[in-house]
Amino acid sequence: MGSLEEWSDAMVPSDSSSSIKVFPNLRDLTISDLPKLAVLPDMENLTSLKELEIQECGSLACIRNLNSLASLESLHLYSCPALLDASLDMENLRELIISGCDKLNPSLSNNLEKFTSLERLEIRSHDPGCWPIMVLHRLANLRSLTLGGFSDILDLDHFPWPHSITNLVSLETLRLYGWPKITSLPDQIQHISTLTSLEIWEFEGLEVLPEWMGSLRNLRELWIGDCSNLRQLPSAEAMRHLTNLNELRIYNCPLLAKRCIKGSGAEWPKIAHIPLVVIDFNKV
């Protein structure tokens, strides 16, 4: 692991000719807490770099020559609100996590479909209108997808989701973060037959989980958190269809937790057969 603060002497000032001139064998680089950094130095010499993480760089507007990092497999961008351009066009990238970089989203929308090797994608954004969701169905190798992170001022009453997801044939893990105005989950999820893990967080307007969840026959793990008004699981019949479900975790969902009390809760008969049930960190 490397930190840019530790290597400041190895860099020239961040002008048009700047570059990171040493560490050609570096495999993992973290750049963090540099509020005045506006342009990241060129990194063409980092030919062995596999993982790059950039976080808490509030003035960073541009990352040059990322496409020259042919060996890069993992890119994490956190809390860089001024970032406009990262020159993202890396066919070998396997993992992309972006959170708190809303200005970058339009550029990402135009390039994401080129990431043919992408296996994990996480986008946390306050502006879902800029999400690259319309190209998700082109990411045939995607195994893990996380979407969400909205601000409370949005007037959306539904979760934005692409109409076509037929090519998500490898997706195993789906993690969604909602917001208070949403009262339902995207119906399209029921068609992702490959899902083995589903996490639902911060859907405060959701009261009942949909009946179609019973069609997720390969589901092994179901996590539900911070859904303060959720009180009911799908029907007992739908839950019985989840024959592979062996783990149910419920966190900070007081109404549902009360109804899942072992032996006496109204929802308990629906989940009694599940090998591992955890409610608020307590195994039931």
Rounded CA-CA distance 9/25 in Å is: 18
In this structure, are 162 and 284 located in the same domain? yes
pLDDT of 3 strictly over 50? no
Average pLDDT over residues 131-155: 75
CA distance 274 to 194: 20
Helix (H, G, I), strand (E, B) or coil at 97: strand
Assess whether 157 and 268 both reside in one domain: yes
Q: What is the mean pLDDT of residues 40-58?
A: 86
**Domain enclosing residue 202, as ranges:** 151-284
Residue 146 belongs to some domain of the structure: no
Q: Say if residue 213 is in the same domain as residue 105.
A: no
Residue 86 in any domain: the answer is yes
Residue 222 is part of a domain; what is its CATH number? 3.80.10
Rg (CA), the chain: 21
pLDDT in tens, 74-100: 999 999 988 877 666 677 889 999 888
Residue, of 127 and 283, whose pLDDT is higher = 283
Q: Which of 118, 140, 173 is the last residue of a domain?
A: 118
Residue 100 maps to a domain: yes
Q: Is 50 exceeded by the pLDDT of residue 180?
A: yes
